[in-house]
Structure 1
Amino acid sequence: MLALPPGLDPDLLRAFVLIAEGGSVTRAAERVGRTQSAVSMQMKRLEETLGRTLLTRTPKGLTPTPHGAWLLCRARMVLALNDEIVSGFRDPPLVGQVKLGTPDDYALRWLPGILARFAETHPSVEVEVICLNSDILARHFAEGAMDLTLLTEGHVQSGWAAEEVWRGPLQWVGSARHAAHRRDPLPLALAHDGCTWRAAALGALEQVGRSARVTYNSATQTGCFALALAGLAVTVSTPAPLPEGLIWLGETDGMPKLPSMGIELVQSRAALGTPAARALAEGIRQGFALMDG
């Protein structure tokens, strides 16, 4: 009879994830309300079970080894599923309505999976999605029109309850059949003044002395993609599956490197006291963590 491999205790995985994310046993222990020695022992048990060193000490703190990095994204998925199962049986069903704002840049890439999982575990909560650019979303949020909103970095106001849920590089996007990126000055399709993506793109070009002009303004990512598809301009985006006919452009195409950009989740004071809104906020955090891993 074949012996089954040992199962992994979710508490051990949770200790590992918290240490890896915070770079410290102390911070992990504070988050779970346990002693440092108890968390260290959990980490030791996990490494003994898997037979690999998962964390190594660096000047910046504890960081995952190659085996640890492989485990980290999978541990997040296991814990998200574990928590979903437990809450599905223990928690009373949530009811209510949550108004969620999001730029269209993020709607297709991240929200479908997040909202589908949320609907499975909280079928009685109605989520109203408001899709606008970050500048307008921030104004509506300040007026109390939404419970939660995703915003591109640079639009959060002082005093708001905000947290970064994703960070990654901006990238240039152009047509696969045209060469707008070879023109001088470079034609750009970007959002209006005040958009952080626009400022990042223009700043990167100015830094390398590349002449450019914003020939098309669009409040949505879809509009910018349409102009790029037509070969009329180059635009920018966070990494995501591109529509057919568009390609990523980089330094080999003569385009300068773009900076990283964060996505922030903002919660209203009213939402912080609403179980349904808090549950959706947690679902958003987990969704970004899963796809980032």
Structure 2
Amino acid sequence: MKFGISDADAAMMNIPPGLDPDLLRSFVLVAEGGSVTRAALRVGRTQSAVSMQMRRLEEALGQPLLLRGPRGLSPTPHGLWLLDRARRLLAMHDEIVNNFRMPEITGRIRLGSPDDYALLWLPEILAGFAEAHPAAEVEVVCLPSTELLRCFDKGDLDLTLFSGGNEEPGLPAESLWRGPLRWVGPAARPTHLLRPLPLVLCHTGCTWRIAATRALERAGVPWRMAYSSASQTGTHAVVLAGLGVTVGLSMALPPGLRLLGPEEGMPDLPELEIALVRHPGAAAEALADHIRRGFLSRPGVNARAA
């Protein structure tokens, strides 16, 4: 017995053909990264092939989905509508496929993550992984990115998230997210007006710290290092006390903190990349796949929205 309708019947009824998940996946990567070239590298296709995919998708839907601007490609209003739904559709598509294809995962998997990424992304990811692989045990290690990469190199972690820029050249890392760093200060005090500006940041080699101090130096803003902390939670505690400003992501700030921008006299900060690296193995790949889908499916958590 054959269910459904044929392509010919669909055409006669003026029903558009089903959307190829590969087209949607390329569209999401182009829309988030603002670049066909970066998307092509992620999906393992040529730039011209991905450009062709975008044309096919726009022709199938009958609407322009991407516009070229000074900062690259960005979604049109129709593209933004599609982007949100494409993330969720792809996450469900991948979950269905992998649930039937993945071998049973057992044993312990050691995952590293900076503490702020763990709080933002991992609860939903780990819950989904535990449901799909109940026999597996995930051990989460929260450390600064440089320490996580050292642990990974020594074989103490099976996979780890980290802030891009901390890795050694040639490390086969996978980019999961890009978005701007933001200045963060206390909501109740104008600490950002103090000079020299008191900073609350992580260790000396931290890419966030380097980005913050370089931005201030370029803007001619005097600063001093008021406090150092190995975790984002620690920096937030000091900033909540009104003792300095820090940098971070724009999502899920604790009550009592606020974002600071040019209107408060703060210089622009560069984009941040969140990346993933893993050792070979079915267990690590299974968890890495859940992590990819977790980053893909979070509405608003992307380079354009951050």
User: Structure 2 matches for 1:28-107, cutoff 5 A?
Assistant: 44=56, 50-54=61-65, 64-107=75-118
Any unmatched runs of 5+ in structure 1? none
Q: Report the equivalent of 1:290.
A: 297
2:185 corresponds, among 164, 169, 174, to 174
Is the 1:101–1:149 Cα contact (8 Å) retained in structure 2?
yes
Q: Distance in 1 between matches of 2:231 and 2:273?
A: 18
| 2:117 aligned counterpart, secondary structure | helix
How many residue pairs end up in the alignment? 280
Bigger drift between 116-125 and 88-97 goes to 88-97
Q: Distance in 2 between matches of 1:53 and 1:111?
A: 34
Is the 2:91–2:296 Cα contact (8 Å) retained in structure 1?
no
Q: Distance in 2 between matches of 1:119 and 1:280?
A: 10
Q: Distance in 1 between matches of 2:226 and 2:72?
A: 47
Q: Distance in 2 between matches of 1:59 and 1:248?
A: 25
Cα-Cα RMSD = 3.2
Q: Report the equivalent of 2:271.
A: 260
Letter in 1 for 2:282: P
| Cα distance change of structure 1 residues 58 and 20 upon mapping to structure 2, 3 Å threshold | farther
Is the 1:6–1:49 Cα contact (8 Å) retained in structure 2?
no
Q: Report the equivalent of 2:134.
A: 123
| 1:205 aligned counterpart, secondary structure | helix
Please say if 1:211 is aligned against 2:222.
Answer: yes
Letter in 2 for 1:290: S
Q: Report the equivalent of 1:188.
A: 199
Please say if 1:9 is aligned against 2:9.
Answer: no
Task: Give 1:161 deviation, angstroms.
Answer: 2.2
| 1:161 aligned counterpart, secondary structure | coil
Please list the CA deviations of residues 135-167 of structure 1 after superposition, one character each: whole Å capped at 9, or x if unmatched.
211221121110101111221123422111111
Q: Distance in 2 between matches of 1:58 and 1:184?
A: 37
Q: Distance in 1 between matches of 2:198 and 2:14?
A: 58
Q: Report the equivalent of 2:8.
A: none
Q: Distance in 2 between matches of 1:57 and 1:236?
A: 30
1:198 corresponds, among 189, 209, 212, to 209
Letter in 2 for 1:199: I
Letter in 2 for 1:21: L
Q: Distance in 2 between matches of 1:82 and 1:171?
A: 33
Q: Distance in 2 between matches of 1:184 and 1:95?
A: 55
Q: Report the equivalent of 1:230.
A: 241
Bigger drift between 163-172 and 116-125 goes to 116-125
Is the 2:197–2:223 Cα contact (8 Å) retained in structure 1?
yes
Task: Give 1:14 deviation, angstroms.
Answer: 2.7
Letter in 2 for 1:14: D
Please say if 1:281 is aligned against 2:292.
Answer: no
| 2:184 aligned counterpart, secondary structure | strand
Q: Distance in 1 between matches of 2:170 and 2:113?
A: 20
Q: Distance in 2 between matches of 1:27 and 1:197?
A: 28
Letter in 2 for 1:95: T
Task: Give 1:85 deviation, angstroms.
Answer: 2.2
| Cα distance change of structure 1 residues 163 and 41 upon mapping to structure 2, 3 Å threshold | closer
Any unmatched runs of 5+ in structure 2? 1-12, 31-35
Q: Distance in 2 between matches of 1:232 and 1:203?
A: 21
Please say if 1:137 is aligned against 2:145.
Answer: no
Please say if 1:240 is aligned against 2:248.
Answer: no
| Cα distance change of structure 1 residues 40 and 181 upon mapping to structure 2, 3 Å threshold | closer
1:146 corresponds, among 157, 165, 170, to 157
Normalised to the residue count of structure 2, the TM-score between the two structures is 0.80
Q: Distance in 1 between matches of 2:54 and 2:180?
A: 35
Q: Distance in 2 between matches of 1:212 and 1:55?
A: 41
| 1:287 aligned counterpart, secondary structure | helix
